[in-house]
Amino acid sequence: MLASKLYSPTLREIPADAEIASHQYMLKAGMIRKNGGGLYSFLPLGRRVELKIEAIVREEMDNIGAQEIMMPIMQPAEIWHESGRWNAYGPEMFKLEDRHGNHFCLGPTHEELITTLVRNELRSYKQMPVTLWQMQNKYRDEIRPRFGLMRSREFVMKDAYSFDVDEEGLHKSYQDEYDAYTRIFTRCGLNFKPVEADSGQIGGNHTHEFMALAQAGEAEIVSCTKCDYAADIEKAVPQTVEMPAEDAKDVELIETPNCSTIEDLAQFLHIPVEKTIKAVAFTIDGEKTVLCMVRGDHEVNDVAVQNFVGGNV
């Protein structure tokens, strides 16, 4: 095809809502166009990039024996009620009702659907292990779509699901996927790091996220320069530092005028902030209040609170 025939409308002016470089460049180069908050069309150049990435993913999934399928975007509510996640998933789930009064959702993920699909078909351990995967649109009603494609309401996700005979087989399938992702991101030329992560609504007790390291992003990670430990900020566990023992003093009531933060308090009392304790309140499911006590120089991890007490913060 002649370049003169290419549909690639470029921009001179950067839209005001394009905050980060990747979003600005994709708009200016005519790769994507915004259709609404968190909704984008891929133009020919953007679609070609997407297809090349999909080809890499498909090759690496073939290499580990995973089989590609395609599941519907719209999912019946009953399978989500069965798993207990219809209400637990929260306001990010797009819910709808058809003309007959049947309830559905636009899939934010596909664990319920893949389980429903195979539970009546895999009848013997001799049929396992099997890994099924897809590249399919996902929908999440983000409270604040931003940064272009980084946080949007509609996006393409590659998701894979393994069914194994035992836990040993599960670990092998997990490692196969881990190695495949490593090869995928390496072939894409990304500077990335696998980190331990919270599994969120998807569940499980062993989760990694592959983070592309960049100045602009949606997550923060911590990593050790002396070992292989790395985790996102929601999963990371701080190293406990023992404080030197001190003699207990008599309890004393002290007025602290104009001390609205723990830093103000520490400065007013002339004590190190790490020798203070602060209380942070959370409302769970809009019904009950949970009070968390942490050291003054620490921050409460709201994801950890949610996992510990259940419900949504």
Average pLDDT of span 156-161: 96
For position 202, what pLDDT does the model report? 60
User: Higher confidence at residue 150 or residue 100?
Assistant: 100
Amino acid in the structure at residue 268: F
For position 243, what pLDDT does the model report? 74
Burial 286-304 (b: 16+ CB within 10 A, else e): eeeeeebeebbeeebbebe
Count of Cβ atoms closer than 10 Å to residue 34 Cβ = 17
Domains and CATH numbers, the chain: 44-189 (3.30.930.10), 190-241 (no CATH), 262-309 (no CATH)
For 41, half-sphere exposure in the C-beta direction (CA atoms, 13 angstrom radius) is 9
Conformation bin of residue 90: beta by default, left when phi > 0, alpha when psi is -120 to 50: left
Asked whether the predicted pLDDT for residue 303 surpasses 90, the reply is no
For position 167, what pLDDT does the model report? 92
Asked whether the predicted pLDDT for residue 204 surpasses 70, the reply is no
pLDDT-derived band at 164, boundaries 50, 70, 90? very high
139-143, 152-156, 307-311: least confident range: 307-311
Q: Residue 83 is encoded by which pair of tokens?
A: 């798993």
Task: Calculate what percentage of the chain has a pLDDT beyond 90.
Answer: 52
For position 182, what pLDDT does the model report? 97
Asked whether the predicted pLDDT for residue 203 surpasses 70, the reply is no
Between CA 182 and CA 200, with CA 52 as vertex, the angle to 5 degrees is 45
Contacts of residue 219, Cβ cutoff 8 Å, sequence gap at least 6:
209, 211, 232, 233
Asked whether the predicted pLDDT for residue 198 surpasses 80, the reply is no
Q: Residue 127 is encoded by which pair of tokens?
A: 């049929």
Asked whether the predicted pLDDT for residue 206 surpasses 80, the reply is no
Return d(Cα 107, Cα 240) in angstroms, integer.
40
Asked whether the predicted pLDDT for residue 201 surpasses 70, the reply is no
- Say if CB 46 and CB 162 are below 8 A apart: no
Return d(Cα 112, Cα 114) in angstroms, integer.
6
Q: Is 279 helix (H, G, I), strand (E, B) or coil?
A: strand
- Say if CB 206 and CB 167 are below 8 A apart: no
Asked whether the predicted pLDDT for residue 313 surpasses 80, the reply is no
Query: What is the DSSP track for 50-87?
Result: HHHHHHHHHHHHHHTT-EE----SEEEHHHHHHHT-TT
User: Higher confidence at residue 285 or residue 251?
Assistant: 251
Average pLDDT of span 59-63: 97
pLDDT-derived band at 96, boundaries 50, 70, 90? very high
Q: What average pLDDT does the structure give for the chain?
A: 89
Asked whether the predicted pLDDT for residue 199 surpasses 70, the reply is no
Q: Are strands 130-139 and 154-163 parallel, antiparallel or unpaired?
A: antiparallel
pLDDT-derived band at 17, boundaries 50, 70, 90? confident
Average pLDDT of span 127-131: 95
For position 88, what pLDDT does the model report? 83
Residue located via tokens 């950067």: 14
Asked whether the predicted pLDDT for residue 218 surpasses 80, the reply is no
pLDDT digits (tens, 9 = 90+) for 25-41: 999 999 999 999 999 99
For position 179, what pLDDT does the model report? 97
- Say if CB 66 and CB 178 are below 8 A apart: no
